[in-house]
């Protein structure tokens, strides 16, 4: 069966695809979203958008929908040096926003649908064909259908199969860190602070992101040689015990905590495609570039991809040209983000005498204060 009635088809219906598709549909473009999950479940994904990502969400017209349904504005961030008020101290004067990822996906798919996009759920894309007349193959209940469009937007996430089918090659810069996450309830912690605290002494980073309905997404990043994985429910005790070493606020907050979902671990590092456009196929979100979750820039980057691609397509009737323009911009802002996050990694995560000396030179007072807090609370022995 053949169909030519869509200008854009997205592979996936996550944050990137639905934000982009909704924004294009609002401009009258005929968009089809193909999402394999009939119902979203907890995959342990990003649940805190940093302020520049919130600005992108505003630009895409989805900030209000997020805040009115699943999202919570989080005005403070704590990195172990005292709470920082983001509204008062950032150029954008915005709070961060948190949500439960599956609820955000449902919200944004609904938004895209009400803007005019067609959404098909429970269907899997099985191939992508770039070219002058690009297309996707879709499997639905044992039947296969080829769908043509002017542009295919691949947004199938960090393990993207579609980028491989479309002939893109992946570059990798793995870091010797793992990043684990689990959804908890019963945590004693402030509901207006997102905690991302680094403890270079142990090579740890602890994250605690409050959400609605007394839920908290807890993260733990740790240095590894690959032999130790905090993965699976039976490792929850070890996850919570290791988290206590991060800093004073993590010592008592988990005493009554219970898990509400899977405990999953991921490799940290960078995995990306240079120039994520070719022959009628554009990659966005984690299909284009995965950033180190320790620094929480992934959703902001994904929303920027959606906005930059939208703007390129709306300002140029030659979509091949627009795709290339998007890809050039993507290369610049992704590599700028990567460069800064790698500096932060050297400063906040690396261990050993050389890294200690670097911290001492760059930020003597905050690190001295953090170290003395750790000693006073006896966390190092715990
Ligand atoms: C542990 C962890 C913590 C993170 N923490 C943060 C954070 O605090 N802040 C932050 O900004 N970012 C964070 N991130 C990154 C964030 O989760 C991603 O940037 C974001 O989810 C990327 O969105 P996406 O739309 O590209 O991909 P996804 O959210 O993965 O969506 C892809 C969609 O495509 C669908 N799909 C896949 N294959 C097919 C197919 N063949 N056919 C049809 N549909 C398909 C999937 O079902 C899914 O719905 C974190 C990531 C991890 C792993």
Cα–Cα distance, 382 to 375 (Å, whole number): 11
**DSSP output for 261-322:** S--EEEEEEEEE-SS-EETTEEE-GGGTEE--GGG--HHHHHHHHHHHHHHHHHT-S-HHHH
The answer to whether the CB of 334 falls within 8 A of the CB of 272 is: yes
pTM: 0.95
**The two structure tokens encoding residue 87:** 């509204």
Distance 11 CA to ligand 1 centre (A): 12
From the alpha carbon of 45, which atom of ligand 1 is closest?
A: 17
**DSSP output for 225-251:** -SS----SGGGHHHHHHHHTTT-THHH
The model's pLDDT over 226-273, given as tens digits with 9 standing for 90+, comes to: 678 999 999 999 999 999 999 888 988 999 999 999 999 999 999 999
Cα–Cα distance, 55 to 61 (Å, whole number): 10
Pocket around ligand 1: residues whose beta carbon is below 6 Å from it? 11-17, 34-37, 44-49, 124-125, 155-157, 161, 179, 181, 266, 285-287, 293, 296-300, 302
CB contact set of 14 (below 8 Å; sequence gap of 6+): 35, 105, 155, 156, 157, 285
The model's pLDDT over 261-305, given as tens digits with 9 standing for 90+, comes to: 999 999 999 999 999 999 999 999 999 999 999 999 999 999 999
Cα–Cα distance, 306 to 285 (Å, whole number): 8
The model's pLDDT over 120-155, given as tens digits with 9 standing for 90+, comes to: 999 999 999 999 999 999 999 899 999 999 999 999
Ligand 1: which residue has its CA nearest to atom 1? 45
**The two structure tokens encoding residue 274:** 């240079």
Cα–Cα distance, 169 to 65 (Å, whole number): 35
The model's pLDDT over 157-167, given as tens digits with 9 standing for 90+, comes to: 999 999 999 99
pLDDT-derived band at 115 (thresholds 50, 70, 90) equals very high
């Amino acid at each position: 069966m053949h169909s030519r009635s869509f200008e854009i088809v997205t592979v996936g219906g996550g944050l990137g695809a639905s934000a982009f598709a909704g924004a294009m549909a609002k401009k009258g473009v005929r968009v089809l979203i193909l999402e394999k999950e009939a119902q979203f479940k907890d995959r342990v994904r990003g649940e805190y958008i940093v302020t520049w990502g919130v600005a992108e969400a505003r630009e895409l017209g989805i900030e209000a929908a997020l805040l009115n349904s699943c999202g919570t504005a989080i005005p403070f961030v704590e990195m172990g040096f005292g709470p920082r008020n983001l509204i008062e101290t950032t150029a954008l004067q915005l709070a961060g926003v948190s949500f439960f990822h599956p609820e955000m996906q449902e919200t944004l798919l609904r938004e895209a649908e009400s803007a005019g996009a067609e959404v098909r759920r429970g269907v899997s894309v099985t191939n992508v064909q770039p070219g002058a007349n690009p297309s996707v193959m879709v499997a639905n209940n044992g039947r296969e259908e080829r769908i043509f469009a002017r542009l295919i937007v691949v947004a199938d996430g960090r393990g993207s199969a579609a980028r491989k089918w479309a002939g893109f090659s992946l570059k990798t810069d793995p870091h010797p860190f793992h990043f684990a996450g689990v959804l908890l309830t019963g945590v004693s912690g402030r509901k207006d602070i997102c905690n991302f605290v680094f403890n270079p002494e142990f090579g740890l980073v602890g994250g605690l992101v409050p959400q609605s309905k007394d839920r908290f997404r807890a993260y733990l990043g740790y240095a590894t040689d690959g032999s130790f994985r905090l993965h699976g429910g039976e490792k929850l005790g070890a996850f919570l015990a290791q988290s206590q070493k991060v800093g004073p606020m993590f010592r008592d907050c988990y005493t009554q905590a219970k898990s509400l979902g899977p405990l999953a671990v991921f490799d940290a590092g960078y995995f990306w495609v240079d120039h994520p456009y070719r022959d009628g196929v554009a990659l966005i979100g984690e299909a284009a570039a995965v950033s180190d979750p320790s620094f929480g820039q992934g959703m902001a980057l994904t929303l920027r991809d959606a906005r930059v691609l939208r703007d390129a397509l709306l300002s140029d009737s030659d979509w091949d040209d627009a795709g290339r323009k998007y890809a050039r911009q993507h290369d610049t802002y992704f590599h700028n983000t990567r460069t800064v996050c790698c500096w932060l990694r050297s400063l906040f995560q690396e261990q050993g005498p050389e890294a200690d000396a670097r911290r001492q030179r760059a930020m003597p007072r905050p690190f001295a204060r953090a170290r003395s807090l750790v000693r006073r609370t006896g966390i190092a022995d715990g």
